[in-house]
């Protein structure tokens, strides 16, 4: 393992119940067992004051106007942006469970004329840009059969179908350059192995920790 001047920024993305948190935990362990210092984060971070508002909204305990909740999700990332940047500079590999990709796609999936992918992306400009985003792809029907589906706000078949379409639309933009698709409909171990391969590809030469651009 060659020494890195900076750590890599890795994101795990996908539909609800695609297995992100399961794979996020395994990836952190795998990277640690390679001898790397790892910092693990997730969005939404439900522990901050903004995160608590998001949590109440997702659980149906409070209402938010669609643009407002979008900006709260984005603000929740900006709260952590400085921490992410310093960790990378200190040589930590930062692994995040959901990031701005979810932020953009879930809001745009509401299909409001004034809530386009572009509108949704603008508040994210300037956040640390990932070296790689592994997108766990799964058919919404398969995801819906996994544990606890349907508990939170966006866990309906119509919403998940639209979210998946928009993830593919996003892959056709500059964000797509960072995305690697992994078939998440297989066993936990098969998905894990695929993720390690995708991540190892970029680990040797992480990019220059650039911010997201317009």
Contacting positions for Na ion (CB under 5 A): 20-21
Report the distance separating Cα 100 and Cα 2, nearest Å: 30
> Burial code of 45-76, b = ≥16 C-beta within 10 A, e = fewer?
bbeeebbebbbebbeeeeebeeeebbbbbbeb
Of residues 26 and 39, the one with the C-beta less far from ligand T5A: 26
Q: How far is the CB of 184 from ligand T5A (least distance, A)?
A: 6
Measured from the CB of residue 127, what is the shortest distance to Na ion in angstroms? 20
Comparison of 58 and 94: residue with beta carbon closer to ligand T5A: 58
Least distance (Å) between residue 20 CB and Na ion = 5
Q: Which is nearer to ligand T5A, 1 or 158 (CB)?
A: 158
Query: 72 vs 171, which CB is nearer to ligand T5A?
Result: 72
Rounded least distance, CB 97 to Na ion, Å = 6
Sign of CA dihedral 207, 210, 212, 214: negative
| 142 contact choice in ligand T5A, Na ion, none (CB below 5 to 8 Å, kind-dependent) | none
Residues at the interface with ligand T5A (CB under 6 A): 14, 16-22, 43-44, 58, 73, 98, 102-103, 106, 146-147, 152, 154, 187-188, 191
């Amino acid at each position: 393992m060659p020494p890195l001047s900076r750590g890599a920024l890795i994101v795990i993305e996908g539909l609800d119940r695609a297995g992100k948190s399961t794979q996020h935990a395994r990836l952190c362990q795998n990277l640690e067992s390679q001898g790397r210092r790892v910092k693990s984060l997730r969005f939404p971070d439900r522990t901050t004051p903004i995160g608590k508002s998001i949590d109440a909204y997702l659980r149906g305990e409070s209402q938010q106007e669609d643009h407002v909740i979008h900006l709260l999700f984005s603000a929740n990332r900006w709260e952590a942006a400085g921490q992410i940047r310093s960790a990378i500079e200190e040589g930590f590999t930062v692994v995040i469970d959901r990031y701005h990709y979810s932020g953009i796609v879930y809001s745009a999936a509401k299909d409001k004329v004034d809530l386009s992918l572009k509108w949704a992306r603008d508040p994210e400009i300037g956040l640390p840009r990932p070296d790689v985003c592994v997108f766990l792809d799964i058919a919404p029907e398969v995801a819906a059969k996994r544990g606890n589906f349907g508990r939170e706000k966006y866990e309906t078949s119509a919403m998940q179908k639209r979210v998946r379409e928009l993830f593919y639309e996003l892959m056709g933009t500059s964000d797509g350059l960072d995305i690697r698709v992994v078939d998440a409909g297989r066993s936990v171990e098969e998905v894990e192995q695929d993720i390690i391969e995708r991540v190892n590809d970029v680990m040797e030469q992480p990019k220059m920790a650039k911010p997201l651009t317009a």
